[in-house]
Structure 1
Amino acid sequence: MSNVSRISLEPNWQLLVLSNGHGEDMIAVRILAELQQQSNPPDIFALPLVGEGRAYQKLGIPCIGSVRTMPSGGFVYMDGRQLMRDVQGGLVQLTLSQIQAVRRWVSSQKRLGNKTGILAVGDIVPLLFATFSGANYAFVGTAKSEYYVRNEAGLLARKSKAADWENFSGSIYHPWERWLMSRRCCRAVFPRDSLTTEILKQWPIPAFDLGNPMMDGLEITSSSPRFYRADVEQHELARPLTLTLLPGSRPPEAYKNWEIIIIAVSALINSLQEKVVFLAAIAPGLNSKILCQTLQSQDWQLHSESPVPLSDPNALIFKQKDAYLLLTQQAYNECLHWGDVAIAMAGTATEQFIGLGKPAIAIPGGGPQYNSAFAEAQSRLLGASLILIEQPEQITNVLRSLLKNPDNLQIIAENGVRRMGKPGAARRIAECLQERLGKWA
């Protein structure tokens, strides 16, 4: 092989990805998978600042530096006690070692004569790491949205005067964050929605409105399922009300959320005079036996026949009265697409469901993630698409009111798509990275 051929096949730049949370890891991986499909892609390395970075391992991306799961699981900003637990668990030492690892990586690549770039995914923490690394960088802002403080009509009314702090400088992103995004080495910023991009463009920030990668990878191969009433001999087509259950993914909080959700499910069964199907989207890391015990304590019985053709052959089917509940750890996308409404106590999953144009009813729990503060902030982020209730028993009246108002459902559908964006963002961001970061690395 000639030297020209050999050189043309070599990567022309090196990319280090920094992310600070499981959700951020997943978003980064979606972008990286698309980046690997580009012509002459970079060599990719990762440093997950929170957790062990298993999402990167699945894509075959090596991690540099130290990785460790902190006691809070990355939710320190919601509770000062969580921060103290992380500090006691070695957060300061871990952060210092990670800063050193980033600088060593950049220095070693420069010594080898390689062009380098950094992709920061998350909030100000990976953005800070990227800024002071000495390399050119891009930023995917997953943690902040202008929808937390405003909508298209203007600023939101807030009960607390302390809330003014969030927008004191005219943006959800504070001046020091905007300074980091406006540095000469910052080649691109990818906000999570159009409204945030519009606000950031008031400053010399290279912001690109390319969508939210959270809405990628949710496709399903089959169309909507055909439901049949068991008491109709000819199996005439009948579409029962279908609710998606989203208890979250972090144990032990998710198990407590599940107990609250099942109380709401029981209230619906006892009040609705129609067939109902519940699709429980359960994270693979949760213990399904614990969830099944909760169901059986509420008189759900295992059933052999499923009313829904889920792609998961291991889905567990339960029946109570004229209601079915399917518990799956593999058919996540189908649960999102087939549900009419969600009963939600989750972060990312709730946003993805709403991004498909559907309403969700949320019940704040007592865990470190889906507590009252988180749910209230999420309701501002998602607007009319997320309805908060205080007690699970309140769900019946709320659901009835929701389903009786088709005009409101149309508003909710348009709102969800507008706030979460259309699919394909990962590919669009990857193409922009190749141009903006790869070209200048």
Structure 2
Amino acid sequence: MAHTVTAGLAKIREDLAGLYQDLHRHPELSRQEHRSAALLAGRLRAAGVDEVTEGVGGTGVVGVLRGGDGPVVMLRADFDALPVEEKTGLPYASEQRGVDADGTDVPVMHACGHDMHAACLVGAATLLAGAREQWRGTVLLVFQPAEELGCGARDMVDDGLFARFPTPSIVLGQHVGPLPAGFVGHGSGPVMAAADSLNITLYGRGGHGSRPESTVDPVLMAANVVTRLQGVVSREVPPAESAVVTVGRLQAGTKDNIIPDTAGLGVNIRSATESTRALVRAAVERIVRAEAAASGAPREPDLAWSGAVPALVSDPAATATTLAAFTDHFGAERIMPMPPVNASEDVGVFGESLGVPTVFWFWGGLDAQTVVTALQEGRLDELPGNHSPHFAPLIEPTLSTGVEALTVAALTWLDTP
């Protein structure tokens, strides 16, 4: 059945490539995806999707494709972009700029492949809509905004996604990455890490740089915090567990001879299990407060947690079933196992909120021979990956593989007539 349905891809491949290039050329920042949302909604309506709703969870788009009585299967794609200046040199490269949440003018690029995700979901929706006689059930098509902020899935759930639309029994999603194009990568169980962000404000007492004894120096306080945090993973997390603590922002002062009143830090944490996540969060808070106390800070530091994303778990049993269908469709030679990834994805919020399984996989977007050569020469880290200004998947076979994977996965969980 899957081969029969995906045979229709030949008729829409060129049109989908045009959609992908349009999305890539016109990226939009998280929670600002208005043009993209309208374009995607229009494509769903043109494909014959029964119900299309815009503005879900902000700028999200939801389509309901009905094929008679049967299970409800959810297909999800994200479609927000990043504040990155594109350096691919492609004829359809982005030249867009935007204003971020802090009011700063920034370049904008689809540096994580979300444009490819969205185009593939439109393709799968089109194939499934044109072959309703081949399946029974309902397909819930979810175009999610603001994945890069880690809040888009939660925003859609909080906006009544599963109260306003059919409730799925399984959530299916995918992500393009620096794998060989045409290949599908898979894992089982925890496949992507949990993520937490922490903004810290340390309070000191400012003064002249020549009289440090009259001040409480928040710069030194911040430096000690940064250094001390490096011991959390190496000395508190068990070696068998996985965690990362990164201080990506340290801001203080305006002039070299002025000791400021405050210093700010931005900390990002990745963890694989809830127990490690709780351990690391508690350790970070303990260290920040202790360093402030040790420095004689005039007041307690401010700690503001944000961007909380749970670890993404690809349900083992459901993954095995889906993987068997992929192997049958693509051939075993195009299926490759992958280790857990320390990056994060909020798609798990959908299944977790309902208590239903999520199946998530990766597929490749880089020239296969380039990847093989880099592997042989030990240069894999030099390949452009997600969030790189040089990252842009090959249109083909990446687009066709992504459309087929979503379509095959959906048909695996829908009923047959």
Which TM-score applies when normalising by structure 1? 0.25
Which has more strand, going by share of residues?
A: 2
Which TM-score applies when normalising by structure 2? 0.26
